[in-house]
Amino acid sequence: MQFQTLSVLAGSEACNARCPFCVSKMTPPNGIKLKEPEVNWRNFRKACILAHRSGVSTVMFTGKGEPTLFPNQITKYLRRMQEFEFPMIELQTNGITLADLPEEYDSYLREWYELGMTTIAVSVVHYNPEQNRRVYLPYKKAYINLPELIRKLHRLNLSVRLTCVLLRGFIDSVPRLEELAAFARDNKVEQLTVTPVNKPEDIRDTAVWNWTNQHHISPEQVAEIAKFLKEKASHLRTLAHGAEVYDLNGQNICLNHCLDVRPNSKEMRNLIFFPDGHLRYYWQYPGAILL
Ligand code: SF4
């Protein structure tokens, strides 16, 4: 079996943002240090061996919360995976700590670069700071200075990907997508990925369900965006999980989709390592488990 990516869950469910479509837990007030979650290092090595043997080119640090709240854990993961020499190592983040705490985090970023990290993927919902503030930091007066964060990451020789969730009232049409692509181009962002939010099925968290239900974009809106890219951008490649990558006036842009299951495909998208030692291959199915 071939895998494209080893996804490593870093950190815990704690997050310093408060997105209304997410069930992560708010971090405690300033000054209280969070306890670093334990990792089953033996099974992490097994995951790396399997990933290495099955052709994984990319490792992605992600989390149920914000991974950078536990920077030392990211460093430990990077050190332990060095022997496998994965070519691409990426970190998914909301960017808040990286932008707001430079004294602490610039040195982490330098160290992670030395340990092989290649790409910082910053999640956004818009190019407009006020729209991003409404979603990520409703409890603060201002959103981070995103262009400045991108410039800093570039100064540190890291590639930047903006990963934008498509939401009704945010980036939900061709004109808004073109503006987002122009923002990415102006800021020399290497990659832009856009992913429509699915209509929620799980109704355990009513507030999250209600918000997502009101803000998911319709299949017609997604189809309009897909048609625009097909007609106006140059199609570069189709990824194994069906995402389409384009060049739109010089800007890389990937139209992604969530939670796709392809039982007959020889190439799987994801090998997912959970800190408790479990190894899975689909996020949404507890039964999709190897260890
Ligand atoms: S930044 Fe990510 S983990 Fe944090 S609240 Fe938003 S979606 Fe959830």
pLDDT in tens, 36-72: 899 999 999 999 999 999 999 999 999 999 999 999 9
What is the whole-number distance in angstroms between the Cα of residue 77 and the centre of ligand 1? 21
**Confidence category of residue 204, pLDDT binned at 50, 70, 90:** low
What is the whole-number distance in angstroms between the Cα of residue 24 and the centre of ligand 1? 6
The ligand 1 atom nearest the CA atom of 15: 4
User: What does the pLDDT read at residue 72?
Assistant: 97
Contact of 60 with 7, CB cutoff 8 Å: yes
**Confidence category of residue 201, pLDDT binned at 50, 70, 90:** low
What is the whole-number distance in angstroms between the Cα of residue 44 and the centre of ligand 1? 24
- The residue ranking higher by pLDDT, 199 or 117, is 117
29 has a pLDDT exceeding 80: no
Residue 167's Cβ-count burial label (10 Å; 0-12, 13-18, 19+) is buried
Q: Is 94 in the pocket of ligand 1 (CB under 6 A)?
A: yes
What is the whole-number distance in angstroms between the Cα of residue 209 and the centre of ligand 1? 15
Please provide the average confidence, as pLDDT, over all residues in the chain.
92
What is the whole-number distance in angstroms between the Cα of residue 94 and the centre of ligand 1? 7
172 has a pLDDT exceeding 90: yes
The domains of the chain, with CATH numbers, are 2-27+35-280 (3.20.20.70)
Q: Measured between alpha carbons, how far is 200 from 164 in angstroms, rounded to an integer? A: 18
Q: Measured between alpha carbons, how far is 94 from 163 in angstroms, rounded to an integer? A: 10
Q: What is the 3-state secondary structure (H, E, C) of the chain?
A: CEEEEEEEECCCCEECCCCCCCCCEECCCCCCCCCCCCCCHHHHHHHHHHHHHCCCCEEEEECCCCHHHCHHHHHHHHHHHHHHCCCEEEEEECCHHHHHCHHHHHHHHHHHHHCCCCEEEEEECCCCHHHHHHHHCCCCCCCCCHHHHHHHHHHCCCEEEEEEEEECCCCCCHHHHHHHHHHHHHCCCCEEEEEECCCCCCCCCHHHHHHHHHHECCHHHHHHHHHHHHHHCEEEEECCCCCEEEEECCEEEEECCCCCCCCCCCEEEEEEECCCCCEECCCCCCCCECC
pLDDT tens, position by position, 118-166: 999 999 999 999 999 999 999 999 999 999 999 999 999 999 999 999 9
The ligand 1 atom nearest the CA atom of 135: 6
Q: Is 189 in the pocket of ligand 1 (CB under 6 A)?
A: no
**Confidence category of residue 24, pLDDT binned at 50, 70, 90:** confident
Mean pLDDT of 203-228: 89
**Confidence category of residue 117, pLDDT binned at 50, 70, 90:** very high
**Confidence category of residue 283, pLDDT binned at 50, 70, 90:** confident
- Percent of the chain exceeding pLDDT 90 equals 77
Q: Is 62 in the pocket of ligand 1 (CB under 6 A)?
A: no
User: What does the pLDDT read at residue 264?
Assistant: 57
User: What does the pLDDT read at residue 134?
Assistant: 96
Residues in the chain: 291
Mean pLDDT of 67-86: 97
User: What does the pLDDT read at residue 51?
Assistant: 96
pLDDT tens, position by position, 237-270: 998 778 999 999 999 999 997 655 555 555 667 8
Q: Is 197 in the pocket of ligand 1 (CB under 6 A)?
A: no
- Residue with the smallest CA separation from ligand 1 atom 6 is 19
Here the tokens at position 122 are 């910053």
**Confidence category of residue 22, pLDDT binned at 50, 70, 90:** confident
The ligand 1 atom nearest the CA atom of 18: 5
Q: pTM to 2 decimals?
A: 0.94
- Residue with the smallest CA separation from ligand 1 atom 3 is 65
Q: In this structure, what are the phi and psi dihedrals at residue 259, rounded to the nearest 5 degrees?
A: 50, 50
Q: Measured between alpha carbons, how far is 169 from 125 in angstroms, rounded to an integer? A: 10
Q: Is 19 in the pocket of ligand 1 (CB under 6 A)?
A: yes
Most confident listed range (10-24, 26-40, 223-237):
223-237
Q: Is 17 in the pocket of ligand 1 (CB under 6 A)?
A: yes
Q: Is 128 in the pocket of ligand 1 (CB under 6 A)?
A: no
**Confidence category of residue 213, pLDDT binned at 50, 70, 90:** confident
